[in-house]
Structures are given as C-alpha cells and as structure tokens.
Structure 1
Amino acid sequence: MKNFKKIIILSLSSFLLASCVETQAIEKIGIINARGLDITDEDLLETTLVTFQFTPDSTEMTKILSGKAKTVKGATENAGDAFLYKLAPGKLKLSVIGRDLAEKGILPLLDTSARDARIPDLMYLSVSDTTAKELLSIDEENIATDIGQYLHGLIANRSNDHNIPRKTLQDFLTTYYDVGQDNVLPIFEIEEDMPKLSKLALFKGDQMIGELTSDEATLINLMERTVKEHHLEVTLPLAPFKDHLEEREKRPQETEVQMIFVIDKGHSKTKVLDEDQLVFQTDTTLRLRLLEQSAGIVLKKSQVGKLIENEVKKYMEDHFDKLLAKLQKLESDPFGYGRIYKSSQKGKNLTVEEWRESFPTIEVKYNVDVEFIQHGVID
C-alpha cells in the first residue's frame, strides 16, 4: 500500500512539474535549418534564414527570411519581425558565410554562436563564392528539395568521400585556438543556377586569405586522416611507358597520359627531423587501383606497374612541394606542422606570432610510397 501511495505522489509531481514548462506547438514556430551571413555596404551584418514552417494553411513549408543589424542576434531578430511565429535555431545544420565577410574575419560571429546554447556545436561551416544570400535564394525547383538540406547534404556526401574536409563550428574553433594549424572550409559556387562544391577556402587565423583546388584538398585530407575510396586524377609523362603502348593505326603525338585511380587506402605520418632548423619529414602511403588511362598502356607486365608506382610517387611528391610553397607564401598552415612541432617541444610554449614567423622557413621532406594493386577499366 505504501509503495502504491509513493507511485501516486510521484506521478502527480511529474504532472505538476510538466505543466509548469512552457510548451510550443510546432505549428507556432519556424525551425531554422540553415543561415547565411554577409556584410553589407553599410557595414551591417545581413542574415538569410532558411526556415521550416508547419502551418496547415500554408502552401510552402520553406520560407526564406532576411534581416540586417550590427550583430548576428540583432539581424536574426530583424528577420523574425517579418515572420508570423517564433524562430527556433535549435536545428540549425549549416552556416554559410559570404566571401567578403569571410575575408574580413569571422571569429566574432563564431564566438557569438558558440556562446548561444541554442546553436548546435555540430553545425557545418562553409563559404559562398557569391553572397550567402544569393546562394540560399536559389530556386528550389532546380534542386527538388529544401536549399538548406541540399547544401548540408553536399558537404556530408563529399566529406564522406574524402573530397573535402568537413568542419563544424566546434572543429573550427578548436583548430583556431590550438596554435600551429589553420582552418579550411568548403566553398560553394553557383553554376547554371545550381550550387557546386569544388574548392576550399584557406584561412589565416579567422580570415580567408586564399583558395585551394580539389586536388590540393586531397593532399590536406591525406595529412589529416586515412583516406579510402577517393578518386585521384594525375597527369604523368608518357615517355617512361613508350615501350608498353598498344598498337594503334593513328596514334596522336601525345606527351602525357591521364590516369584516374581510386585510393584504396592512403595516410600520412610526419616527424620532426631537426628541431633547431625546423626540418620535417612526411611519409605518405598510397594504395591505388587504376580506373582509367588515356594512352592505351598495356598493363600485363609487372614492370609497367612499377613504372606507374614510380611516376605517381614523383607526381605526388612534386605536388606536396608546390602546395607547401604556396602555403608558406600565404603564411597559412592547414597541414598542421606547427602543431606537430609544438608537440615535440616538451615544456615549451609556442605562440601564434612565433609560428607565423617560423612557418615560411620550414623544410619538409616528402616521401610517398605507392602500391599499385590492380586495375579496372582502361582507356
């Protein structure tokens, strides 16, 4: 009997407590799915919000809102003034930053978002080559779905394929405050009224200072994680393969061969060789399957596989060297050599200023070990 009374008391208490919590019917709120941030000519922040609304009498579930103010919160509230119901940012999956704003610096915006408990830490960050407003205003008839979901899906799919790094709000801030590495973010372009991902925004601190191609993005990925099932396209000299070409009646005077591989597995390890002279060594292992090649190279002989391994090795090492030189000129270290150096300096502190001064002078010896394991479709 006593247990029964306890159950009754607990049930009544739960009911009374639940009745004290303010509830909101889903029909009375607008769920923010994605947002864009731009800087205006008046030096104001403009936010563009992609919202879901579940109003029964509405013909459209998605509504695009826009507002301007001096702060992100103020711009969001200004956008909400044109909306009948309360805005809810708890399901915000994607934040798109216009190029002009990204080049000016985004830390104040991200810091504000991180302090707002309603903003998810796992929200993806990206940059728009145009304004964020233009990107988020693409006609949804072209993509057959909500623009916020579509853009979020592009990043998720491309990052799963290791074509681009995926960066959340939490990831960006962690890298920013960890001395010795700089951030990259995916860039959205608009091509024939369709959004497209093909480049990376390169950051120095919180400012975008350049771009990386998709090929350069692959090198960044190989430094950061194990890469699997990713396409790698290379251009190799044809001369080493001249004795292994199939006979063709009319062979064009080619000097190069295009090859497309699948990276079965690829990863890198870096160590410090000389702490005083700042000399590093990065060892990259690539296991490749050939999908296609343009010159009709006969692949039956084992020595052809060795030639491919040797030429891809030289190609990759050369591209690592060129990318490092580009990054040193821009004074941005997305490879994270500063972080690796810092971890080798037990008990010593490395400041941002010290690494900015040192990074352009470092030397890296790249060693790429290539294993050609099989081939598929050719020519």
Structure 2
Amino acid sequence: MSSMAMFKDDVYVGKLSLDQAILINMFLKTIHSTPFDIGVDAKPLEKYLQNFLSGQDNETIQLNGKIIKGRTNTKIVDSKQLKFQTDVTIQMNLLELSRELDLANEEVTSTLEEQIEKQVKKQYEELLTQTQKMKADPFGYGEIYRINKNNGELKRDQWHELYPEIDVDYKVDVKIVEYGTIR
C-alpha cells in the first residue's frame, strides 16, 4: 500500500500519504503497536546533542518509534462558529534517533516530547487544511457537528460547504515510555 484514497461522497478527490493515514486512523479509533516516524526541530535540543557526526542534518532529528497507544478525543467548542477541540494522546517507544541524546535525563526526554507534540500538531493542522480543500471529511467532524445540532439534521451537501470553514484546536500530549537503541 502506498497511499490512501480520499472520496467526497462516491467521487475520488485525492490521496493521502500513509503517514497521514496513520493520523486519520488514530483519530477514528485507538491504535496500538503502530510504527511511527517523524522529524523534529533540532534547535531546542542543541544543548543536549552528543557526538555530532559530519554530514548530519543540523536542523532536524529523525525519530523512529512505535506507538504503544494512540487515541484522540474530539468535542465541539462552539457550534455556531464551527470550532472544535481534538485532544491527541500518544504513548510511544522510541527505537532510534538520527542524533545521539541522553534520554536518561528527564529534561532531554521532556524537551523531545514537546518537539514531537509540536510536529504532530503541525501534521494534523496540515492534514485538516488538505482535506478541507478536497471538501472530504475523513475525521467525522460532520457527525460530531450533527449530533450537537438541536434538530440533529445535516445534509451531506450542507456539510461539504461547512467543512472548509471549521477551526480545530489540536492539543497533543506525547509520552515516551521506553527507549531502545539510539543511533
């Protein structure tokens, strides 16, 4: 499998990468034991980096890990303004890093978790924008909106027009549970 097809009703409107498909899958259900690769900004971790090797990318640190448990919880904050809040919780094992860090140091681990949180939030925001352009809602925000409407009625065409206007605040919490071979 190389990508995920996006449909609006029964019409193909685009495709998403497998990394984006993992984000959608985590949105729709709790995921377990899922490979997870991400690049984070190296600057906040600069003072903790060890043994710089020439030829390495100075700006990012690539991480390879496994999501032990990943889930989301979404609520509508303001139905008139189409504002939602999605809480993303990820517990993960860190298997490899492209740069050497002392993860036994809690300050290092905490800073790394913050950088992963920022990157996951950015990925969700970019994915939302991309799907809004397609007017295809793989997340199910329309269903949450419909459930919270007074009369519970919402036609597909109505939601296709409203979906590009929604605003979602993603709150991401990442916890590195274990770390293995780092390099």
TM-score range, shorter chain: over 0.9
Distance 2:144 2:155 in 1: 14
Map of 1:60-71 to 2, 5 A cutoff?
none
Specify which of 296, 313, 321 is matched with residue 117 of structure 2. 313
1:289 equivalent to 2:93? Answer: yes
Map of 1:12-161 to 2, 5 A cutoff?
none
Distance verdict in 2 for CA 1:291–1:353, change over 3 Å:
same
Distance 1:282 1:370 in 2: 14
1:253 CA displacement: 5.7
Residue matched to 1:268: 72
Residue matched to 1:233: 37
1:354 equivalent to 2:158? Answer: yes
- Aligned AA for 1:256? T
CA contact (8 A) 2:40 2:62 kept: yes
- Which range moves more in the overlay, 248-257 or 295-304? 248-257
When normalised by structure 2's length, the TM-score is: 0.95
1:220 equivalent to 2:24? Answer: yes
1:245 equivalent to 2:31? Answer: no
SS of the equivalent of 2:31 reads coil
Distance 2:103 2:136 in 1: 41
CA contact (8 A) 2:70 2:89 kept: yes
Q: Which has the larger radius of gyration?
A: 1
Distance 2:5 2:96 in 1: 30
SS of the equivalent of 1:356 reads helix
Deviations 1:221-263 (A, max 9, x none): 1110001100110111111111112235757462211001110
Deviations 1:39-73 (A, max 9, x none): xxxxxxxxxxxxxxxxxxxxxxxxxxxxxxxxxxx
Distance 1:360 1:278 in 2: 10
Distance verdict in 2 for CA 1:249–1:222, change over 3 Å:
closer
1:369 equivalent to 2:169? Answer: no
Distance 1:305 1:214 in 2: 27
CA contact (8 A) 2:52 2:99 kept: no
Higher relative contact order (CA 8 A, sep 6+): 2
Distance 2:51 2:44 in 1: 16
Residue matched to 2:146: 342
Uncovered stretches (5+) of structure 1, i.e. residues with no partner = 1-196
Uncovered stretches (5+) of structure 2, i.e. residues with no partner = none
- Aligned AA for 1:348? G
Residue matched to 2:136: 332
Normalized per residue, the structure richer in strand is 2
Distance verdict in 2 for CA 1:253–1:283, change over 3 Å:
closer
- Aligned AA for 1:211? K
Please report the RMSD computed on the Cα atoms of aligned residues, expressed in angstroms.
1.3
Q: How many residues align?
A: 183
Distance 1:259 1:250 in 2: 19
Map of 1:168-179 to 2, 5 A cutoff?
none
Percent of aligned pairs with the same residue? Answer: 33
1:211 CA displacement: 0.3
1:286 CA displacement: 0.4
Distance 1:303 1:231 in 2: 25
- Aligned AA for 2:178? Q
- The runs of at least 4 consecutive aligned structure 1 residues that moved more than 6 Å come to none
When normalised by structure 1's length, the TM-score is: 0.47
Distance 2:127 2:89 in 1: 18
